[in-house]
Amino acid sequence: MGLIARAIEAIGIPTVALSIARDLTAAVGVPRAVFLRWPMGHPLGEPHRPAQQRTVIFLALRLLLEADGPGILLEPGLRWRRETYQEPDWGLLAQIPGSRSP
């Protein structure tokens, strides 16, 4: 997946990836990634848990907007099945400077 992210970024399209294998993602050199120490097959969390899944998307989109250089591997430290999730405040993304500049 990291190699595909690199190919897409190399053609000029920004990417953000999720990672469940930290060392591999770091070694491949992925432009932007959010690492989740979760079971394989669950990068966005548990089935039918929309708040959890959308929290992951929120973190990834925030990284997309805020990253100022390559190879950032964000580690939010979310624990597996031991967190409480709420619907993210999506309006916060519009306040990040990168999301407004034309």
Partner 1 sequence: MHLLSRGRARARELWERAVTGLYSMPWVMQLWARWAVQRSQRLDASAAIPFVPFSGPLAQARAALVTTAGIHLPHQPPFDMDDPEGDASYREIPGDVDLRTVVITHKYYDHRDADADPNIVFPLDHFRDLARQGVIGAVNHRHFSFMGHIEGPHLERLIQETGPEVAAKLRADRVDFAFLTPA
Taking the least distance from each CB to partner 1, the nearer of 61 and 74 is 61
Instruction: Give the number of other Cβ atoms within 10 Å of residue 59's Cβ.
Output: 18
Least distance (Å) from partner 1 to the CB of residue 84? 18
Least distance (Å) from partner 1 to the CB of residue 74? 14
Taking the least distance from each CB to partner 1, the nearer of 30 and 74 is 30
Question: Three-state DSSP class for 49?
Answer: coil
Taking the least distance from each CB to partner 1, the nearer of 6 and 76 is 6
* Ramachandran angles phi, psi of 34, nearest 5°: -110, 120
| Spatial separation of the C-alpha atoms in residues 30 and 4, rounded to whole Å | 9
